[in-house]
Structure 1
Amino acid sequence: MGGTLHIEPNDNPRAGEPSQAWFALTRRGGRVIPLSQCNCQLAVYAQPYAAGEPPLLEPELEPVAAERYQGIPGAEVVFPKAGIYELQLNGKPVSGARFKPFEFKFEVTVAGGSNQNSRNLRDVNGDLVEGQSQQLPIWAIALPILAFIGILVVVLQNMRRSGE
């Protein structure tokens, strides 16, 4: 049995935006296993995670048509933030279907979303508040660069003087 994961758009999911994940399940010889023949479950884990830890998401699988595949397992997934995730697809045959139970694990890298700096957060009362991600101020970036340039100038001047 083989399994291939594809995530729309272009295998490049973005945080906070819906992505369509679909799984092409095939038997030896290339015959497709549709969702109607599989009792499949999808679990999404943020990396790293500890064994036994509950999944971050458990999206509901639905039959989808994608490329040349019809009725294969698919789900809409909204990754909460940028980072690395593991998608685990487990499946057993429904009565009448013939294939061995399986577990596939796929690692997915999620890019920052279009509004990654501004996120909706809930305060202790459950009220919606807007939060800003922490960013370094420009001076905190420029100061080490200027210090490095200053040290470089001093070293070069000392090298010239010692060579004279």
Structure 2
Amino acid sequence: MLHLKNKSVYLIPFLLFASPALAHNVKTEGNVASNFHIEPNHNPKAGEPSKAWFALTKAGGEIISLDRCNCQLMVRSNNQTIAQPALKAISAEQYKGIPGAEITFPKAGIYTLEISGAPKANNEFNAFKFAYDVTVQAGAAPQSSPVAQAPQASPAPQSQTNWILPVAIGAIALSVAAWFVKRTVKN
């Protein structure tokens, strides 16, 4: 058992750096799957615009673009709908024409984004409803309106220090792993 435990230490750095790859949330219902992401990095801040998108696919991986879907998005807080932002066809990562919306959350807390839809053409895919919880961090001062619909001319600049925490955690993990390896080799 001790022998296996020592070798598992080598996995720590890979697990730490692999975890950001799990940032997308995938759910399925019937023959439809939804890959959800909210920018920036699944870390929206209150009072600052965030871009949410939903890569909808049929079984087999065929993209369901917004022009093929009667889709609707609701933003909920404490089981109450606080906004219904208009969905727009956007391109994100390898997906083109998928439903997306810009949302500005009024305050920090947990919100639920619920996307539902049905095909515009009969029997193209099953009707669906997906709900995703989003934790919103404190940010800019709250706004009177929870959702900003108009695109902004210049989005808020991203912090250039977003890399510090993952690098620090990785360095600590590598140091701990090296210490365990050195300790094991001495014994």
TM-score band (shorter)? 0.5 to 0.7
Aligned to 1:74: 100
- Secondary structure at 1:36's aligned position in 2? helix
Within 1, Cα distance between the matches of 2:91 and 2:64? 13
Aligned to 1:104: 130
Cα deviation code 1:47-71 (max 9, x no counterpart)? x32xxx4x10110000000000000
- Secondary structure at 2:67's aligned position in 1? helix
- Cα separation, partners in 2 of 1:120 and 1:76, compared to 1, 3 Å: closer
Within 2, Cα distance between the matches of 1:44 and 1:84? 11
TM-score (norm 1): 0.65
Cα deviation code 1:102-148 (max 9, x no counterpart)? 000001000001x34xx566xxxxxxxxxxxxxxxxxxxxxxxxxxx
What is the aligned length?
Answer: 113
TM-score (norm 2): 0.57
Tell which structure's C-alpha radius of gyration is larger.
Answer: 1
Aligned to 1:23: 54
- Runs of at least 5 residues in structure 2 that lack an aligned partner in the other structure: 1-31, 145-187
Counterpart of 1:101 in structure 2: which amino acid?
A: A
Aligned to 1:89: 115
Aligned to 1:3: 34
Which has the larger share of helix? 2
In angstroms, what is the RMSD of aligned CA positions?
1.5
Counterpart of 1:44 in structure 2: which amino acid?
A: V
Runs of 4+ in 1 over 4 A off after TM superposition: none
Q: In the TM superposition, what is the alpha-carbon distance from 1:4 to its structure 2 partner?
A: 1.4
Which has the larger share of strand? 1
Counterpart of 2:129 in structure 1: which amino acid?
A: E
Q: Is it true that 1:45 corresponds to 2:76 in the alignment?
A: yes
- Runs of at least 5 residues in structure 1 that lack an aligned partner in the other structure: 122-164
